[in-house]
Each structure stands twice: as C-alpha cells, then as structure tokens.
Structure 1
Amino acid sequence: MNILGINQIPGMLSWMHDSSSALVKNGKIVAIAEEERFNRVRHHRGYPHKSHAYCLKEGGISLNDVDYIAVPYNPYAFLKHPNLRLESLARNVFNMFACWHYKQQMKKQANAEVVYISHHLTHAASAYYCSGYDKANILTIDGSGETESFAFFVGENEKIRRVWDIPIASFFSGGKWQSIGLIYTSVTSLLNLGVNGEGKTMGLASYGKPEYDFSDILNIRTHNDFTIDRRKLLEKYGHLQRKENGPITQEHKNLAASLQHALEKSVVNLAKEAFEYSGIKNFCLAGGVTLNCNTNSELLKQDFCDSIFIQPAANDGGIALGAALEQSERAGDPVGQKLENAYFGPGFDNKYIENVLSGAKVKYRRAKNIAQETAQLITQGKIVAWFQGRMEMGPRALGNRSILADPTREGIADSVNNSVKHREAWRPFAPSVAEEDASKYFQGVEKLKSSPFMLHTFFVRDEYQSKLPAITHVDGSSRIQTVRADQNEKYYNLIKEIENINGYAIVLNTSFNDKGEPIICTPQDALRCFFATGLDALAIGDFIVEK
C-alpha cells in the first residue's frame, strides 16, 4: 500500500513546527523530507506542500495512488486529559472539525482515507519500526503532544502498546507547565540563546557546574512521582536572565549545567522504571528532547540498558514517518526494519549538477576521484562543502550535505565558525569517523558499537585530545557519527582517503548551511551558500569548484 505521512493539515488553529512528509510503500520507506528544505524557512509551520509533492514524485505516484494519508495528530485526545479553560476547549473543538473536514475533502479529491494517530505514538513508531529490535522499551519525550510531553510504550513483535504517560497540564491550567521539553526551552530563552536554540544550551552546559537547585522545577523520580513546573524557573532564576548580545557569565554556564543534570537524572529514572516494568534492556527514544546527545549517552551507561536506537529525525520532523509506518502496520504491511542510513531526501545526478554549474557560469572541474581530491583539499587546511547523493532527514548533516575540515589542525574550528557558520565560538563541532576506528579515538563506543546519526556523545581518549582539537569539546566530549561503507560508500571512502594522507580516519563535519537557514537541499542552494560564505571549495557530485 502507498501511505503518505504529513504532520500538518490545512485549517488548524495551532501549527506544529518542523512540517514534513514521508512516503511508505508496502512497509518500506521511500522518501522523507522537511518542508524547510524546499521553502528555506527554518522549522516551517504549515502544510507541507513541497515536501509532500517531492515524496510523491520520488515514489513515482500521484495523490490518486495514495491509499492512506496518515496524520500524527489525534483530534480527540483532549477528551482524555481535558483542559477546561475556554480558550483551550475552543481551540481543540475547532481543530476537531478541521480534521473532520480534511478527511472528507481527501476522500473526494483523491479517494484516500485520512487516519489520525496520536502524536507520541507516531514518535514511538518512528523509532521502534526502524530499530531492528523485536522487543524494546520506547520512551517519547518532547515539548508537547496533544496532552503529554512524555509517554512510555512497549514494542514487541511489530506491535506498540502504550503503558503510561505524564500529562502536560491539569484541568484548569493556563499553560503547559508540566512539559519536560518546554523547561529546556524556557532556560534557553532565559539565556537568550535564540528560538530553537536548545542545542546551544546543551553545548554551554559543558562549561558549567550543576550548582543550581532544580528539584522543584524538573525532578522526575517515576511517572507518578515527579516535580515538573516551569513556572518556578522565573521565580527562582529570573534574575539570571541574559540580555540580548550580553556576555555569557559563569552563572549562565552553571544554570545550563544544572538544567542538563536535572534532565539526565530524570530521563534515567524514567528509563529505569520502564525496565523494571518490562524487563527489556533495549531502548528506543524519540521526541525533540532525545536530540540531547549527552542525556542519551548517560542512559547508555546504565547497567539496565544494553542498547539504544534513536532515528535521525527524532524531533517533530520525523512524526510524518512514524504516522506512515504505524498505519502501514495497521494495514497489514510488514514494517520492521533496521534503519541503516538517513538518506531519503532529494538527490541530483551529475548531468543535472553540471547543467546548474554551467548555467551559473561557474568555473569547475570534474574530478577523477572525488573522494581522493577532496581529501587532499581538506588536509591542506581548506574548508570544503560536500554535496553528494540524497539529502539526509533530520537536523544533523550526516555526510551528504556537510561542511568538512581537518580536525587535527589548530584553529580550523575558529575558521569554520568565523568565516562560514557565523555562530558562537564556544559551540562544539562534531566528527565523522570510520566505524571500525571509532573505539581507537573515543571511549565508550564499544557498548553501542555504532552511532550513525550523531545522537550520542563520547569522550575523546586522552592521547588524542591534543591531536584532534577541532572536535574535542571543553569537557573532552565529542558528538560522533560513525560511518561504514555500506551506509555511505562515497563518504566512507573520503574518510579513508584522509587517513591515507594524515593518518586519522576522521573528519570535522558540520551542516552545509549558514547561520539561520536550513540545511542545503539543491545544487542551486549549494552554490548560493558557497559564494556567500568563506568556504574554500565545493565538492558537488563529481565536480569541484574552488575560489
């Protein structure tokens, strides 16, 4: 069956961020993309017109060929945990009728049945059905679903069963005070690190010490014994608010560290409770909070955790995929699969790329061996944009839309920050490393074995911290991506070519974009970013452009 997942519908009063689409055919993933990559509006809210058109095109079908449209939103969920404030009730009732109208509309226009699936269940499905696990505890943690910010499921034999959750508000609450994710967002706002800047807060935490008390702000012992109250944040720490463009003080760093510590402790407690319920040592994680690499790695250290799977679009950009997979399972298609890579976006062949380059009157050359020649540029100290194959899903660049540099070079991180990314100097850069060499450079990788989606942090071994300065964070940690040839042959070959030159099977990898814009999608986007920033070279398809 052809199942199209979309995480927005027209006419709703509240839009979800990270609008996206996904196509699943006969239980297999065909295409996934976020709307922001096409319309260039970061974290776009609204109907995913362009991404859903891409998914249909990639699948070689039209809307008339779609059997189901799966939407990761349950318009009736508010009846389970009703918020009786008039504003909330009115919004929920309006959205309920908007969903009914869209269902009727699609039945007439395309003869496709629209199904609505709860937000956290689609998060769970996006992880479990891609994990390769038969049995797993599934934890979904974010800012807000319809009525909760945490849910625990058990996955077994390609079936998902909800066990318990934590509601985001009480009957008459005027806000989502019991939201785990929104507490992290609130601290990010207090520190004035920008909208969607939670990753900055995580990076800043490594510079501080957990000296501030979060016991009455975020302190989860079990799912029914917890303190989650973001109202207390301003009451206790409002005096630490950082002015826009003001200096970041040690107090700010300590506040970030205190938040991070509280989050890690709370998530570990929730995971332990899940294990005690199920006896299962495999964990699937999803939801925007699970992009927090440090928390994921803290969970991995626990004796009750044998392995963790997190799919690369763990944020709301992945729930269209989860909705499509869950509906595929309900329709009888086999959906259990091991997601080995994240490359489900648009791709462009050499003919298309060369037409763009020549049409733009750009000087370029065709490489005899693109991996080898790019490795030479990188080890010469050049900052190189790498545009290859199909675009990644999720917020991390994973070797197809990446900016690359030599992590052994002193000062290269500052050059990338100042000349290309135009971002805060204290933010860390991540490495991509050949999977078989990961344990050589990093401690703790052995338990996980692989980290293909850059969703865990490990510590650089002492003997390599001074040799790999550009990817070693202030606390010695590093958010790594492991790469195998069967996952991304061209990128793997590049890493091994770098090793042939400088002896290190590792490269600095950051997303191919400038500050404030989404990751690059098309060759046209690549050229614009290349010439608008301080990049030295662009390796695009089999072609190289240099300044």
Structure 2
Amino acid sequence: MNATLAIYGIQDRNNLGYPRYVHDHSLCLMQSGKIVQYLQLERHTRKKYDHQMNHHLETLLNKKLVNIPKNCDWVFVNSFVGSSFISKNGKVRFDALPEKQLGVDFNEGYGWLELEKWQGKAIKAYSVSHELAHVFSCLPFFGNFRDNSLLISFDGGASLGNFAAFHYQNQELKVVACDWDLREITHLFNANGLSFALLGISPKHHNSLAGKLMGFAAYGRYRPEVIEWLGQNNYFFDYWTQKDHFHDSAQQHFGWQGQMGDLNDPFLQDIAFAFQYVFQQRFLKRLQALQEQLKADYLYYAGGCALSIPTNRQIVNNGWFKEVYIPPCCNDSGLSIGGAAFLEWKKQNKPILHSPYLNNVGASSPTSPPTNKVIAQLAKVIIQNKIIGICQGAAEVGPRALGNRSIVALPNSKALAKKVSEDCKKREWYRPVAPVMLARNTQLVTGIEKLSHLADYMLMDFEILPQYREALAGVVHINGTARIQVIRERTQNPLMFDLLTYLDEHHGILALINTSFNAQEEPIVHTPDQALASGQTMGLDGVFLNEKLVLFEQS
C-alpha cells in the first residue's frame, strides 16, 4: 500500500519577515500506520516558528533528507489562509478548491512533483482540513478513537473557524460544530493590544505571547470587578490606538496611576489573571454544553489552545470524561502528523503507538541504552548544582522538551532555577520552570493516585502539597502549582527513568528541573553540534550527548 507524505506548508499572507497567520511548518512520512520521518521545519532552519516550507522543501527532497517512497500519496493541510502549496521553484505544487463547509473527508486536488529537470509527473494529492488534522494528531499517540468520543480542535484560526467539534460513535465521524464564536477569547492570547502592552511584547513575537501571559497571570488575583470592566470595554483590544481610553478608564474605575509595562504592578497582574480566567471559563462552558448534548465518554483535544495548562487541569478535575487525550504536538507543529494519520485512517491502516521522540530528520540516535556508570557520572555532577543540557536520539515533537532535548538541574533551589531560566535561557522572571519526576514521586507530592495521560507530555499542572514545596522550591510556581512531566516506566525514556531512579534512591531527590534546551527566541537544539555550541553560549556546565557527558571549562 502507498505511503503517506503530509505537509503543512501554506504560504503566509504578506511577507513581514516573521510568522503572522501561519507558523510551525512541518512534514510527516507515514507507512502502514507508522511515522517513518518527521521534521518540524524550525529545527532544520534554526528560525523559530518557521513558516517557509515552500523555500526549503525542494532542498530537503533533493538532498534526500526526506526519502519519498516510489508509491506515495501526498496530503496538504489547509488553513483559513488557503489550500494551495507551491515550492520555491515550482517543482512541488498542489492546488485545491477551498472548503465551503467543514466535512469529515479529504478533498482531492492536483499535485505535481519534479525532482529531476524536465521529468515531472502528476501525483496523488489531497487536501485535509486544519480541524481534522488537529484532532487526528492524537491517533499516533493514543490509537484509534474510542467509541462515543468528543473531538475538539481549538486554535487561533483553522480553516473555517477557530473552534470545531466532532463526535465519533459507532465508527462514524460527524461534525457537531464549526465557528468563530470563541475568537474573542483566543485574541486575548494572540492579537489583543492590551495583552501585548502588559508584557511589553512586539506584535512580531505574538507566537510567544500565550505562554508568557499564562506565566504572568499566576501572579494576579481573582477580581470580578476587573473582569466585568474588561468585558465592558472589549478587553481593550484596540489598546494600540486607544491608549488614553484605557488609562483614563483605569484611573476612573480603580484609581490606577501606574505605568504600563511595570510587571510588579498588582493591577496589571490582576488583568493578566482576568484574561486567563475569562478564557478558561468561556471554553469550559462551551465544552460542558457539548458534553451535556452528546454524553461523550472520552475527549480528544488538540489545537494551540490545548497548551493552556490551567485549563487542562480543570478539564481533568471536572471529571466530565472518563479520559482526556491531548497529543504532545497539539499546536500547529502537529498538523502534518494529523494530516498523515487521517489519510492512513481512511486507508484503514491501524495506527502504531509512538513515543513523542519522532523529530528525526537530521538527528542522530544513541547506539545503546545508558549504562549504570554513565547514570552515576551524570548524577554526580547534577548533585553538585551543575546545569546540564541533554541531547539524545530523535527530538521531541511539539513545543515541550521531554528528556531528549532538555536542560536539567536540581529542583530544590530558587536561585538555581533563576540561573537556568533567566541567566542561561534569558527568559522573563515571571516564567516558571517545570519538573520531571517518576510517577511514584508525583503521586507522593500531589496526593493524587491516578495521574492523567496529560502529565506524560507536560500538558497539565498539579497543586504541590505544602510539605514538599521546599524540596521542590525551584519548580513550584507562585500559585503553588508545578507543570510536571511524569515518567511512569523505563520504556518512556530510559535515560530519564534511570537518572531519576538513581537520584531518588541514592540522594532522596524527588525530581529535576526540566526545561527546553534553547535560548530565548531560538528553536530547541536539534543536533549534537548545536547542543555543544548552544550549551557553551548559554553558560551551561556541560552537555550529555547520547552516551557521553561533556563538561565545559568555566572561565
């Protein structure tokens, strides 16, 4: 049977020099339900959120970094920007009519491939909706949808809306909703003028706004009068052109006379809290209404909004579903995976369950599992308060570092966490770093016996019991929570499992700082050479490259 090559590479509107409406281009090659190759473009080009697949695809194919089988079906994931793809020199192209109504099938289009001069040919090529690609990105990690499942795609913008719901029951997939009704609350995290002004962020960095605003929101308080005032003023969406209106209104209603951009100002912190609260409540209300309508047993959820960590915790804690599934690549970086998985599903190929370590184009693999000697050596430098970068095997899919492209350090020191986050990575002071820990220790420090699947991919946070907060001082946020990556068994990540087990059993250390191996505004490192260079530039104490620990001389 034909292989499937899926590409998310829609060209952006306007050439602004940075991603505007389109970001996180990627490609995925699947064969018989298995992901053979995957590349998130930014890891190859070293341009954060890279959105120029059309500039690079021909090179990737000609240099055989991506190996296309002779018999291959092509899938192109669309967006509200369009459905067509044309590579830099026109050697790969795809055209399809735009969708007028969201459906549950692919649309056949016209494809052309010309890898050798004057030897082009038509290819089987299809368009898959942004919405379907998001929800089907769950399949390679969780298997086929379970019966009576609600599937949600919630994004800044997809193809025909930013929110879509499907119901899967009796092996039939139906569209339940598709609209822009929640656009107002997603704008709070990607387009609202006041949100940018609060944190002093330029519009060209809008893709990083959501994560920063979530971190900052934890410093605020619940104030219903602030929430009501913001709603009455359209959340000051047009702050850029109506700054005086905001300042005059804030002074009139709350006596505020502060300075925009003062991140220690409690009033501005309360506004950030309000934005997170409004997003969470509006989305949960919509989700609850769908659950009451469909009585679904399971939730599969993807799209950029699935990175709202406090919201995910609330979904799980509400107990509306027997299980909640969110893939590690829930943002647009997973669209090619979802597009490929959808066509494989249509071919009736059973999805093989994958780890998140699939970003393999251009990455090397370790030749053997870590030895006890290597684990002891790595643990020895970590307990000396050293900061170590890890680069092993294929990289993670999605935005989270899950042990293959991580920076690790002891979790019990706020000063060490500050050094990792602010000095090495150049992140803002209000952004927390997260821990990785064994399942048994997660149960211990949270008091929760059944741990959600979401914790495997660091997609929800937990309240840490007071008696353990000192031992985890570097990874507990201001609100008493931690976004834990849970390691349940050795097969998940042998290095991290063995290292955490050794530190626990020999030193009583419950966790490690686990943050992505990249500096501010840079993609996560992809190759050993990049890890060495970035590790030294960032001021790490060393890097672990597959099976070898390299320590840097400190000046």
TM-score by length of 2: 0.81
What SS does the aligned partner of 2:455 have? coil
- Is residue 382–residue 410 contact of structure 2 (8 Å, CA) maintained in 1? yes
Q: Equivalent residue for 1:188? A: 195
Give the match for residue 546 of structure 1.
551
Cα separation, partners in 2 of 1:58 and 1:458, compared to 1, 3 Å: farther
Cα distance, 1:456 vs. partner?
0.3
Mapped pair 1:517 → 2:519: no
Q: Which residue of 1 aligns with 2:74?
A: 68
Residue of structure 2 equivalent to 1:417: 421
Provide Cα deviations, 1:212-247, integer angstroms capped at 9, x if missing partner. 55469779xxxxxxx998747777984379978654
With 299-308 and 245-254 compared, the bigger mean Cα shift is at: 245-254
Query: Cα 1:315–1:513, aligned 2, differ >3 Å: closer, same or farther?
Result: same
Asked if structure 2 preserves the Cα contact closer than 8 Å seen for 1:139 and 1:286, the reply is yes
Residue 478 of structure 2 corresponds to residue 482 of structure 1: no
Cα separation, 1, equivalents of 2:343 and 2:279: 32
Structure 2 unaligned runs (5+)?
Answer: 15-19, 84-96, 103-107, 251-256
**Does structure 1 retain, via aligned residues, the 8 Å contact 2:357–2:404?**
no
Q: Residues 10 and 231 from structure 1, CA distance in 2 versus in 1: closer, same or farther, beyond 3 angstroms? A: closer
Separation of aligned partners in 1, 2:154 and 2:259:
30
Q: What is aligned with 1:95?
A: none
Judge conservation of contact 2:156–2:304 (CA < 8 Å) in 1.
yes
Matched, 1:257 2:268: no
Alignment map for 1:288-307 (pairs within 5 Å): 288-307=304-323
| Structure 2 letter corresponding to 1:524 | D
**Following the alignment from structure 1 to structure 2, what is the Cα–Cα distance between the partners of residues 166 and 229?**
21
Shift of 1:141: 1.1
User: Is residue 124 from structure 1 mapped to residue 135 from structure 2 by the alignment?
Assistant: yes
Paired AA for residue 188 in structure 1: S
Query: CA-to-partner distance for each residue in 1:111-163, whole Å, 9 max, x for gaps?
Result: 43221111111111112564344132111111111231111112346653221
Residue-by-residue CA offset, 1:477-527 (whole Å, 9 max, x unaligned):
000101121111122111112213321341110000111100000111111
Q: Distance in 2 between matches of 1:215 and 1:444?
A: 35
Q: Report the Cα distance in structure 2 between the residues aligned to 1:154 and 1:6, rounded to whole angstroms.
A: 26
Which of 396, 399, 409 aligns to 1:392? It is 396
Aligned counterparts, 1:71-470, within 5 A: 71-73=77-79, 75=83, 76-77=97-98, 79-80=100-101, 103-104=111-112, 109=120, 111-128=122-139, 130-132=141-143, 133-135=145-147, 136-156=149-169, 160-167=173-180, 178-185=183-190, 186=192, 187-191=194-198, 192-194=200-202, 195=205, 196-211=208-223, 213-214=226-227, 231=237, 238-239=246-247, 246-335=262-351, 337-346=352-361, 347-349=363-365, 369-444=373-448, 446=450, 448=452, 451-470=455-474
Query: Residue in 1 aligned with 2:45?
Result: 39
**In structure 1, distance between residues paired with 2:65 and 2:169:** 29
Letter in 2 for 1:103: G
Q: Please state whether the residue corresponding to 1:413 is helix, strand or coil.
A: helix
Q: 1:12 to 1:326 in 2, by over 3 A?
A: farther
Aligned-partner Cα distance in 2 for 1:112–1:350: 36
Measured in 2, the distance between the counterparts of 1:157 and 1:22 equals: 29
Deviation, 1:345, is: 2.6
User: Of the candidates 510, 515, 538, which is equivalent to residue 533 of structure 1?
Assistant: 538
Closer, same or farther in 2 for the Cα pair 1:374/1:181, shift >3 Å? same
1:200 positional shift: 0.9
Sort the Cα spacing of 1:388 and 1:253 in 2 relative to 1 into closer, same or farther, 3 A. Answer: same
Structure-2 separation of matches of 1:341 and 1:146: 26
1:303 shift after superposition:
3.1
Tell me how far 1:248 sits from its aligned partner: 4.1
Instruction: Tell me: CA distance 1:140–1:350, structure 2 relative to 1, closer, same or farther (3 Å).
Output: closer
| Stretch deviating more after TM superposition (247-256 or 517-526) | 247-256
Gap runs ≥5 in structure 1: 82-98, 169-176, 220-226, 352-365
CA distance in 1, matches of 2:517, 2:43: 12
State the distance in 2 between where 1:369 and 1:433 align. Answer: 21
Counterpart CA distance in 2 for 1:156 and 1:129 is 19
> What root-mean-square deviation, in Å, do the aligned CA atoms of Structure 1 and Structure 2 show?
3.4
Q: Deviations over 1:374-398 (max 9, x none)?
A: 1111111000111111100111100
**1:271 aligns to what SS in structure 2?**
helix
Q: Deviations over 1:257-289 (max 9, x none)?
A: 001111111121122112112211311111111
Aligned length: 500
2:12/2:51 contact within 8 Å kept: no
CA shift for structure 1 position 201? 0.5
Q: Report the more deviating stretch, 476-485 or 502-511.
A: 502-511
Alignment-mate amino acid for residue 203 of structure 1? G
Tell me the residue number matched to 1:87: none
**Does 1:7 find its partner at 2:8?**
yes
Question: How far 1:179 moved relative to its partner?
Answer: 4.7
- The equivalent residue for 1:84 is none
Q: Secondary structure at the match of 1:527?
A: helix
Residues 445, 368 of structure 1: alpha-carbon distance in 2 compared, 3 angstrom cutoff = closer
Contact 2:186 2:279 in 1 (8 A): no
Q: Name the CA distance, whole Å, in 2 between partners of 1:384 and 1:229.
A: 42
Residues 297 and 38 (structure 1 numbering): CA distance in 2 closer, same or farther, change over 3 Å?
same
- Length-normalised TM-score, structure 1: 0.82
Q: Could you report, residue by residue, the CA deviation over 1:45-84 in whole angstroms, capped at 9, with x for unpaired residues? A: 1216657976999998336442223324464556449xxx
Query: Residues 180-222 of structure 1, C-alpha deviation per residue, up to 9 Å, x if partnerless?
Result: 4222222531322452221011011111013255469779xxx
